[in-house]
Amino acid sequence: MTTSMTFPPGLILALGGIMLPFFHGAARSALILVTPLIVLVLVWQIPDGVSLTASYLGYDIALIKCDVLSRLFAIIFAIMAFAGGLFALNQKSSLELASAFIYAGSAVSVVFAGDLISLFIFWEIMAIGSTLVIWSAGGNGFSAGLRYAAIHFLGGVILMAGIAGEIATTGNTEFTSMTANSIPRYLILAGFLINAGAPPLAAWLPDAYPETSWSGMVFLSAFTTKTAVYVLIRGFPGTELLIYVGLYMVFYGIIYAILENDMRRILAYSIVNQVGFMVTGVGMGSEMALNGAAAHAFAHIIYKALLLMSAGSVLFMTRKRKCTDLGGLFRTMPVTCICGIIGALSISSFPFTSGFPAKSLISQGAADAHLMVVWMLLAAASAGVFLHAGIKYPWFVFFQKDSGLRPDDPPWNMKAAMILFSFMCIYIGIFPNSLYRLLPFQVDYEPYTVGHVVFQLQLLLYSGLAFFLMLGMLKRTLTISLDFDFFWRGIGRVLAQEFNFRLGNAWYGFTDRTINAVKRLVREIYRHHGPQGILARTWPTGSMAFWATVLLGVYLVFYYF
Partner 1 sequence: MNEPWLVKPENIKILWRVLIAILVLVVVPDFFIEHHPHFGIDGTFGFGAWYGFLSCVVLVLFAKLLGAFIKRPDDYYDD
Binding footprint of partner 1 on the chain (CB under 8 A): 251, 254-255, 258-259, 261-262, 322, 328, 330-331, 367, 370, 372, 375-376, 379-384, 387, 399, 402, 450-451, 454-468, 470, 473-474, 477-483, 489
Minimum distance of partner 1 from residue 456's CB (angstroms) = 7
Minimum distance of partner 1 from residue 197's CB (angstroms) = 18
Based on CB atoms, which residue is closest to partner 1, 412 or 455? 455
Other Cβ atoms less than 10 A from the Cβ of 132: the count is 19
For residues 96 and 32, is the Cβ–Cβ distance under 8 A?
A: no
Half-sphere exposure of 479 (CA within 13 A, CB side): 12
For residues 170 and 223, is the Cβ–Cβ distance under 8 A?
A: no
Beta bridge partners of 322: 262
Helix (H, G, I), strand (E, B) or coil at 59: strand
How does DSSP assign 159-182, residue by residue? HHHHHHHHHHHH---B-----S-S
Based on CB atoms, which residue is closest to partner 1, 477 or 543? 477
Based on CB atoms, which residue is closest to partner 1, 45 or 477? 477
> Measuring CA to CA, which residue among 340, 343, 314 is closest to residue 406?
314
Minimum distance of partner 1 from residue 18's CB (angstroms) = 35
Helix (H, G, I), strand (E, B) or coil at 49: strand
Minimum distance of partner 1 from residue 356's CB (angstroms) = 13
Minimum distance of partner 1 from residue 273's CB (angstroms) = 11
Minimum distance of partner 1 from residue 339's CB (angstroms) = 18
Distance, in Å, from the CA atom of 63 to the CA atom of 55, rounded to the nearest integer, reads 10
Minimum distance of partner 1 from residue 321's CB (angstroms) = 11
Minimum distance of partner 1 from residue 284's CB (angstroms) = 14
Please calculate the CA angle 362-366-367 and round it to the nearest 5 degrees: 115
Contacts of 199 (CB under 8 A, 6+ apart): 245, 248, 249, 252, 484
For residues 333 and 313, is the Cβ–Cβ distance under 8 A?
A: yes
Based on CB atoms, which residue is closest to partner 1, 328 or 411? 328
Based on CB atoms, which residue is closest to partner 1, 455 or 499? 455
> Measuring CA to CA, which residue among 16, 134, 19, 28 is closest to residue 81?
16
For residues 286 and 242, is the Cβ–Cβ distance under 8 A?
A: no
For residues 111 and 73, is the Cβ–Cβ distance under 8 A?
A: yes
- Classify residue 494 as exposed, middle or buried by CB count within 10 Å of its CB (0-12, 13-18, 19+): exposed
Q: Which helix (H) or strand (E) holds 234?
A: helix 216-235
Distance, in Å, from the CA atom of 231 to the CA atom of 239, rounded to the nearest integer, reads 13
Q: What is the dihedral of CA 356, 362, 365, 367, to 10 degrees?
A: -70
Based on CB atoms, which residue is closest to partner 1, 69 or 315? 315
Based on CB atoms, which residue is closest to partner 1, 470 or 525? 470
- Classify residue 227 as exposed, middle or buried by CB count within 10 Å of its CB (0-12, 13-18, 19+): buried
Minimum distance of partner 1 from residue 277's CB (angstroms) = 15
Minimum distance of partner 1 from residue 229's CB (angstroms) = 24
Based on CB atoms, which residue is closest to partner 1, 384 or 429? 384
Amino acid at 167: I
Minimum distance of partner 1 from residue 253's CB (angstroms) = 11
Distance, in Å, from the CA atom of 105 to the CA atom of 114, rounded to the nearest integer, reads 16
> Measuring CA to CA, which residue among 214, 210, 212, 226 is closest to residue 87?
214
Based on CB atoms, which residue is closest to partner 1, 37 or 459? 459
Minimum distance of partner 1 from residue 311's CB (angstroms) = 17
Based on CB atoms, which residue is closest to partner 1, 23 or 484? 484
For residues 155 and 191, is the Cβ–Cβ distance under 8 A?
A: yes
Based on CB atoms, which residue is closest to partner 1, 64 or 149? 149
Minimum distance of partner 1 from residue 526's CB (angstroms) = 47
Distance, in Å, from the CA atom of 239 to the CA atom of 290, rounded to the nearest integer, reads 12
Distance, in Å, from the CA atom of 313 to the CA atom of 263, rounded to the nearest integer, reads 12
Based on CB atoms, which residue is closest to partner 1, 411 or 464? 464
- Peptide bond preceding 357: is omega within 30 degrees of 0, i.e. cis? no
Alpha carbon 64 to its chain's center: 21
Distance, in Å, from the CA atom of 66 to the CA atom of 263, rounded to the nearest integer, reads 38
- Enter the DSSP assignment of 407: P
Minimum distance of partner 1 from residue 256's CB (angstroms) = 8
Based on CB atoms, which residue is closest to partner 1, 109 or 349? 349
Based on CB atoms, which residue is closest to partner 1, 241 or 259? 259
